[in-house]
Amino acid sequence: MIKTEKIVHLKSSRGRKVRVVREHYLRQHVPCYSSLCQARCNNDGQVLSGDVTHYVFPDVGVVVDYQEVLEVAGLRGVVFTQTACHAVQHGKGRRQYNRLRGLLKDPRHDCVLFANEFQEYAYCSREKGESQDKWHNRCVYSAAVWYHDHLAGVKPVVMITEDVSAVAEYSSLHSGIYIVSMQEYLQNFWPELQAAQDLYCSISQTLQEKESEGTEREYTEHLPSEVLEAGIKSGRYIQGTLNVNKHRAQNEAFVRLEGSSNKNTDLNSDVLVSGGKSRNRAVHGDTVVVELLPRSEWSGRAMALSEGQGEDKPPESIQSQPMPTGRVVGILQRNWRDYVVTFPPKEETQSRNSRRILATPWDQRIPKIRISTQQADALQDHRVVVRMDSWESTSLYPNGHSVRVLGRAGELETEIQTILIENSIHILPFSEAQLREMPANSPENPWRADAAARRDLRESHLVFSIDPRGCEDVDDTLSVRSLPGGERLELGVHIADVTHFVPEGSLTDLEARTRATTYYLADRRYDMLPAVLSADLCSLLGGVDRYAMSVIWELDTRTLAVHKVWYGRTLIRSSYQLHYELAQALLNGEPAQVLELTRLEPDQRDAKLAQLTEALEMLTHVARHLRAQRDQGGALELEGVEVRAQLDEDKNITALVPREPLEVHETVAECMIYANHWVARKIQESFPQQALLRYHPPPRQEYFNQLVDSATARGFTINTRSNKDLAKSLDQAVDPKDPLVNRLLRVMATQAMSNALYVSTGSIPQDQYYHYGLALDRYTHFTSPIRRYADVVVHRLLTAAISLDQDSDPSKPLASNKELEVMAQHINKKNQAAQRTQKLSTELFQCLYFKDKDPLTDPCCVADAIMYSIRANGFLVFIPQYGLKGAVYVKNREGQVVSAGQDGTCEWQSGSVHRYPDHISTVCSAGTTTFSLFHHITVRISVQPSRCHSDSLHLEVLSNTPHQSPPEPADLPGPQHRGSTQLVQEVVRLAEEATQQAQEKAAQGNRLSREERAFRQTKGPNLYSLLEEVRELALMDMQACGTGGGGLLGLIGQAGCTTSA
Ligand SMILES: [Zn+2]
C-alpha cells in the first residue's frame, strides 16, 4: 500500500471554498465489479453484466450535470468513478448524492462504482498548475484505461465528456477507448432510448439559459443552515412542513409543526404563512424554518367555502380570528418531485422571450415553473413532466426542465398518466431480468409442486375459496372440519405462499417493494407481482396443487375457545372455487350449480354437495361467534358491503342503495380478520421490537362534532365515548323511511377517524397497538400477499417466528426496528397514493362522462341529492345515482342567493344567507327558503373545464324538493340504475373509439400500441372484482372520504373497516 497526499477543494455550507489536504492510500487490488473479470477481483455484490457492447465512463461534468440521464432505465454498463461521485457529493448537495448512491445500490440498474482513486495504477495526482477540471478529466480517463486493460481488452470502453478539449486530447491515445460527447453517445449507442435523448436536450438547454439570470432580488436570502439549526434549538425559529391551501394557493399556506425539533415553542397550532413574499420560495411539501411575526401582524384564515372547495375535512367552527403567523427564513429540505405542467397557448408565449416559458403545474399548490425550451409551440396544450432545478432569490419563479411529454391534455391516457405521476407512482413494465426469475410453467414444462418440508393437506382437508365472481388472483382459501371425538373443531385459513416464489432481495421482490401494492384505477389495475405469479402459481385456483402459508386452529366445539394454533407451510389442492352468490345459495338451501360437481353421478354429487354445505354451515357458525366476540369489544360497522347492489338487476333499487349484504361476505371477512389477528400475536410475541403491525388509533373527539351535530339535527343521539358506544348508537340512528341517513352518518363517522397504519412494534408503546375500528389488541395484514407488500413482509416474519420455535436459525437476519419502520412508512405512503390515485381516476371518469352532455337539456345531468353538511355559504350533498359528493352554493360571487318559488323551483335573487346547526336559509324579497340537513333536493350537474388542472363537477340547486325522474321503459336501464360501473364502461368505450379512430387515421399506429404496452399492463375493466379489492385498501383517509366525488369508490373504500382494515 502506498501513502500519498490528496488535495481537495470543498465548498463550505456558507459557500466559501476550503482547501483540504488528505492522506491517501493506494493499493493494487481494487475490485472492478465486472462479470468479465479474469483477475479474480474480490467482486462482492453487484457486478456489471457482460452482455453489453461496451462499458461507459461518464466524466465528472457529465455525472454532475446529467445524472438524471444516466438514471434512465435501459442505459446499461455504466461505471461511476469515485472521482465523479465525490464531485456530486461536494458540489451538488445531499439530495443528488443520495440519489446517486441509491442508483448504485439498485440491482435493477446495470451500473457500478469503481474506486479509481484507491487504485495504484489508475490514480493520478494533481499536477502543479493543473485546473481541477483538467485533473478530473485525466482521472476518469486514466480509470477508463486501467479498466480496459484490466479486462484484457475484451470490452471496448467509452468515456463521455462535454469538454471539447478532452475529446481532442484523449481521442487517439489508446485503442479500445473511445471519447465522445454525451449527445453523440446517446445517438450512436442508445438510439432506441428516446427518453434519454429528450432529457439530455432539455437539461442542456436549461444549463445554457442559466448563465443569463437576472440580478435583481425578488426575495430575501435564506439563512445559512447553521443559523437555522441554532435558531430552532433556541426556540427562535420553528421547523415544519409547508402545506399550501389548494383553494388559495397564491396566498395561504400553513406550516405543520414537526415533533421533537420544536420542543422550545409552546405553539400547538399550525403557523400561517400569508402571501408569496413571506413564503419566500418555499414550495408545498418542503421542510421549512419559519420565524413568527409579532402578534400585531398575525392574521386569520379565510373561512367561506370557495369554488371547488367543500371537501375539506372536519369542518372546524368558523374561526377567522388571528392565528400564529410567520415568514419563511430558510429551507432545510426541498421535497421536490416530478410535476406535470401544461404549457400556455401560443398567444401568451410569443410576446416575451420565447425560449423561457412559464408552465402551470397541474397541482394547484405548486407555483408556475419557468422552463427553457425551443419546443414551446409543439408543446402547447400538452401535459409535460418537469423537474424543478433551482429557485434563486433573483427569480420570481423557480427554474425547471422538461423530462417527457405525456400527451395532449384532456385525452384519457394523458390524464391517467398525469394522475399517476402526480402521486409519484412510476410503473414500468416488469423487466426481462425480473421475468427470468419466474419459475417456468408451460404446457411442455409444467410447474410441479414438491411436498418436501410442507404439511400435505391435499388428502386430509376439504379446502375451498370464496371470492367475487371471475376473480383471478385467489390469495385466500378456507377449510373447516370436526375432529374425531366430536369435542373439537378445526378451522384453517390457507394463504398463497408468495414468499416461496419471491425471495427477499430478488428483482421481483424489489419491484414489489417499490410498488408496495396493486394499484386499482377506475378502468384498470397495475399489479404488484407479475401475472405468472398473481394469476397463476400463487393463485390458489381449484383443482391444482398450490403452496400455502396456513394458520390452523383447534377450537372447542361448544365454546369455540382456542386450544391450539398451528402456523406453517402447507401443500393444498382447493376443491371448490366458489363465488359469493353461489356459497350463499348453498347456505340458503337454494338450488345451485357447483361447477366442480357437474360431471359426477347424481349419488356422488349429492354426497359431495352435502359435505360442502355442511362445511359452509360450520364456517358460518364459527364466524358468527367470532364476530359476536369482536362486537362485544366494540367493533365498528362503518359502511356495509353495498357493492352487491351495483350488479343487482332489481329495478327498484338505485345504484348505490344497498340491499342486505350477503352473510357469507362477513363470514369470509371474519375468518381473514381472525387469521390476521393471530398472525399479529405470533409475530409480535416472537419479535417484540421488530414485527409489522397495523394499528388504528382512536380518533380525536372534536373530529366527531360534525357527526354528532348532524345526527342531533335529525333527532338521533350519537355517543362517541368509545368505539363500542359509537357502534351501538350508529346502529340505532336509522330512519326507516330513508336508509341513506344511516349510511351518511356512518360516512361521517369514518371521516372523523384517522387512517389505519402500518408500524414496527419497536416504534410505539405496546398499549398503542390497539386497532380501534376492529376492536382488537393486535392486528396485521397476512391474507393478501399477492396484492399487498405488507403481507409479504409479514409472511417472512411468520416464517422466521416458526424457525425460531424449531430452534433453527432464520435464513436471513431480520430487519431491525428502524429498517422496518422505514418500510412501514414507505408502504403507508404508497397506500395513500394508491387511494388518491383511485379517487382521482374516479373523478376523472365522472367528468369525462358529463363532459359531452348539455346540462340544460340532457336529463342525465339532473339528479336527486341529499344534504349532509352545512357550510357558511352553502352545503355538501351526496348524489346516490352517480355516487358522487360535492358542494352546492346558495350564494354566488355577485352576492345573489338561491330562492325557491312555490313549487320549489330555484332562482338567483339578491338577498342574504343565514346558517343554523341543522339548516341554512336564504332571505330575499320573495321570502325565505330553507335547506335542511338530510333533505333531498334536485341539482344540476355540469363540468367546469380547466386547461391546466383537472376538470371538476359543478353542482347547482334547481329545486329544494326531491328529484322526480321521468318513468323509464321497464327493460332499459335508466339513469337511476346507472352507477359508476356503467359510467366507467361508457367512458372507456368512447375513449377506445377515439383511440381507434386516431390509430386508423395515423397509419403508423405502432407508437400508440407501444405506449399501451408500456402503461396498460393489465387491463381489468371488471369493476366488480375491482370494487371488492378496493374495499380492502384500508380505511380511507379523511381527505379521500369527504370528497367532491369520491363517490362510489370512496364509499366502498370505507367498508374496508369491516372487512380487512
Ligand atoms: Zn477485476
DSSP assignment of 45-106 equals S--B-S-SS-EEEE-HHHHHHHHHHHTSTT---EEEEHHHHHHHHHHT-HHHHHHHHHHHH-
Q: Which pLDDT does position 827 carry in this prediction? A: 97
Distance (Å) from CA 100 to ligand 1 centroid: 23
Distance (Å) from CA 170 to ligand 1 centroid: 24
The yes-or-no verdict on residue 193 having pLDDT over 50 is yes
Question: If pLDDT is split at 50, 70 and 90, which confidence band does 222 have?
Answer: very high
Residue 814 DSSP symbol: P
Alpha carbon distance 956, 819 (integer Å): 51
Nearest one of 961, 951, 954, 929 to 940, comparing CA atoms: 954
Q: Which residue has the cell 346540462?
A: 855
Q: Which pLDDT does position 637 carry in this prediction? A: 64
Lowest mean pLDDT segment, chosen from 205-214, 272-281, 449-458, 1052-1061: 1052-1061
- Give the pLDDT mean for 800-827: 89
Distance (Å) from CA 35 to ligand 1 centroid: 8
Top-ranked range on mean pLDDT: pick from 630-634, 810-814, 936-940, 975-979 = 936-940
Burial letters 227-248, b for 16+ CB under 10 A, else e: bbbebbeeebbbbbbbbbbbbb
Greater confidence, 57 or 320? Answer: 57
Helix (H) or strand (E) holding 279: helix 276-279
DSSP assignment of 99-154 equals HHHHHHH-TTS-EEEE-GGGBTTT--PPPTT--HHHHHHHHHHHHHHHHHHHTTT-
Greater confidence, 980 or 745? Answer: 745
Task: Give the rounded percent of residues in the chain with a pLDDT score beyond 70.
Answer: 83
Detail the DSSP E strand segments found in 264-398.
271-274, 287-292, 326-333, 339-342, 356-361, 369-372, 382-390
Helix (H) or strand (E) holding 674: helix 663-686
The yes-or-no verdict on residue 1052 having pLDDT over 70 is no
Instruction: Yes or no: say if 340 and 361 are a contact pair by the CB < 8 Å rule.
Output: yes
Greater confidence, 1018 or 176? Answer: 176
Distance (Å) from CA 152 to ligand 1 centroid: 10
Question: If pLDDT is split at 50, 70 and 90, which confidence band does 298 have?
Answer: confident
Top-ranked range on mean pLDDT: pick from 543-557, 851-865, 986-1000 = 543-557
Q: Which three cell numbers stand for residue 602?
A: 347424481
Distance (Å) from CA 524 to ligand 1 centroid: 47
Distance (Å) from CA 30 to ligand 1 centroid: 8
Distance (Å) from CA 77 to ligand 1 centroid: 15
Distance (Å) from CA 119 to ligand 1 centroid: 12
Question: If pLDDT is split at 50, 70 and 90, which confidence band does 1023 have?
Answer: very low
Classify burial at 146, counting beta carbons within 10 Å of its beta carbon; exposed 0-12, middle 13-18, buried 19 or more: buried
How many Cβ atoms from other residues are within 10 Å of residue 807's Cβ? 6
Distance (Å) from CA 42 to ligand 1 centroid: 7
Q: Which pLDDT does position 168 carry in this prediction? A: 87
Top-ranked range on mean pLDDT: pick from 274-283, 742-751, 1044-1053 = 274-283
Q: For the chain, first and last CA: distance in Å?
A: 60
Question: 247 - beta bridge partners?
Answer: none
The yes-or-no verdict on residue 657 having pLDDT over 60 is no
Residues 6+ apart with CB under 8 A from 633: 724, 775, 776
Distance (Å) from CA 91 to ligand 1 centroid: 30
Distance (Å) from CA 963 to ligand 1 centroid: 78
Distance (Å) from CA 38 to ligand 1 centroid: 6
Query: Cα 424 to chain center, whole Å?
Result: 7
Cα torsion at 860, 845, 1002, 199 (round to 10°)?
Answer: 150
DSSP assignment of 943-975 equals EE--SSS--EEEEEEEESS---PPPPPTTS--G
Tens-digit pLDDT profile for residues 969-982: 433 333 333 445 55
Distance (Å) from CA 41 to ligand 1 centroid: 4
Alpha carbon distance 694, 771 (integer Å): 8
Task: Give the rounded percent of residues in the chain with a pLDDT score beyond 90.
Answer: 43
Helix (H) or strand (E) holding 177: strand 177-180
Lowest mean pLDDT segment, chosen from 343-347, 609-613, 710-714: 343-347
Q: Which pLDDT does position 984 carry in this prediction? A: 64
- Give the pLDDT mean for 287-308: 77
What's the mean pLDDT when you consider all of the chain?
82
Distance (Å) from CA 263 to ligand 1 centroid: 53
Distance (Å) from CA 1033 to ligand 1 centroid: 48
CA angle 325, 331, 337 (to 5 degrees): 110
Distance (Å) from CA 31 to ligand 1 centroid: 6
Alpha carbon distance 915, 709 (integer Å): 14
Distance (Å) from CA 43 to ligand 1 centroid: 7
The yes-or-no verdict on residue 519 having pLDDT over 70 is yes
Q: Which three cell numbers stand for residue 1002?
A: 395515423
Alpha carbon distance 254, 244 (integer Å): 6
Distance (Å) from CA 255 to ligand 1 centroid: 52
- Give the pLDDT mean for 844-854: 83
The yes-or-no verdict on residue 801 having pLDDT over 90 is yes
Distance (Å) from CA 149 to ligand 1 centroid: 10
Residue 380 DSSP symbol: B
Distance (Å) from CA 391 to ligand 1 centroid: 44
Nearest one of 794, 779, 798 to 694, comparing CA atoms: 779
Residue 701 DSSP symbol: G
Distance (Å) from CA 185 to ligand 1 centroid: 25
Distance (Å) from CA 594 to ligand 1 centroid: 63
Q: Which residue has the cell 398525469?
A: 418
Distance (Å) from CA 40 to ligand 1 centroid: 6
Distance (Å) from CA 46 to ligand 1 centroid: 13
Alpha carbon distance 615, 612 (integer Å): 5
Question: If pLDDT is split at 50, 70 and 90, which confidence band does 1001 have?
Answer: low
Residue 532 DSSP symbol: I
Distance (Å) from CA 158 to ligand 1 centroid: 18
Instruction: Give backbone dihedrals phi and psi of 879, rounded to 5 degrees, phi first.
Output: -110, 100
Instruction: Yes or no: say if 764 and 904 are a contact pair by the CB < 8 Å rule.
Output: no
Residues 6+ apart with CB under 8 A from 444: none
Classify burial at 603, counting beta carbons within 10 Å of its beta carbon; exposed 0-12, middle 13-18, buried 19 or more: exposed
Q: Which three cell numbers stand for residue 921?
A: 336559509
Distance (Å) from CA 108 to ligand 1 centroid: 21
Instruction: Yes or no: say if 757 and 780 are a contact pair by the CB < 8 Å rule.
Output: no
Tens-digit pLDDT profile for residues 421-445: 999 998 888 888 888 899 988 888 8
Distance (Å) from CA 183 to ligand 1 centroid: 30
Q: Which pLDDT does position 638 carry in this prediction? A: 56
Q: Which pLDDT does position 494 carry in this prediction? A: 98
Q: Which pLDDT does position 649 carry in this prediction? A: 31
Classify burial at 872, counting beta carbons within 10 Å of its beta carbon; exposed 0-12, middle 13-18, buried 19 or more: middle
Q: Which pLDDT does position 1034 carry in this prediction? A: 26
Mapping DSSP to helix (H, G, I), strand (E, B) and coil, where does residue 805 land? helix
Q: Which pLDDT does position 562 carry in this prediction? A: 95
Distance (Å) from CA 147 to ligand 1 centroid: 8
Distance (Å) from CA 529 to ligand 1 centroid: 35
From residue 621, give the alpha-carbon distance in Å to each of 22, 515, 636, 663, 846: 75, 38, 20, 11, 42
Q: Which pLDDT does position 651 carry in this prediction? A: 24
HSE toward the beta carbon, residue 975, CA cutoff 13 A: 18
- Give the pLDDT mean for 872-896: 84
Nearest one of 886, 874, 877 to 914, comparing CA atoms: 874
Distance (Å) from CA 55 to ligand 1 centroid: 14
Cα torsion at 95, 98, 100, 106 (round to 10°)?
Answer: -140
DSSP assignment of 896-939 equals EEEEE-TTSBEEEEEEEEEE-SSEEEEEETTEEEEEETT-EEEE
How many Cβ atoms from other residues are within 10 Å of residue 116's Cβ? 25
Greater confidence, 721 or 826? Answer: 826
From residue 270, give the alpha-carbon distance in Å to each of 253, 266, 325: 10, 12, 9
Question: If pLDDT is split at 50, 70 and 90, which confidence band does 9 have?
Answer: low
From residue 191, give the alpha-carbon distance in Å to each of 185, 194, 675: 9, 7, 52
Distance (Å) from CA 961 to ligand 1 centroid: 81
Question: If pLDDT is split at 50, 70 and 90, which confidence band does 661 have?
Answer: low
Distance (Å) from CA 69 to ligand 1 centroid: 27
Distance (Å) from CA 187 to ligand 1 centroid: 30
- Give the pLDDT mean for 1034-1052: 28
The yes-or-no verdict on residue 660 having pLDDT over 70 is no
Strand 287-292 with 326-333, pairing: antiparallel
Q: Which pLDDT does position 348 carry in this prediction? A: 63
Cα torsion at 664, 665, 666, 669 (round to 10°)?
Answer: 120
Q: Which three cell numbers stand for residue 956?
A: 347547482
Q: Which pLDDT does position 1013 carry in this prediction? A: 37
Q: Which pLDDT does position 21 carry in this prediction? A: 73
The yes-or-no verdict on residue 117 having pLDDT over 60 is yes
Q: Which pLDDT does position 281 carry in this prediction? A: 95
Distance (Å) from CA 155 to ligand 1 centroid: 13
Residues 6+ apart with CB under 8 A from 384: 340, 341, 342, 343, 359, 402, 403, 404, 405, 406
Alpha carbon distance 597, 582 (integer Å): 13
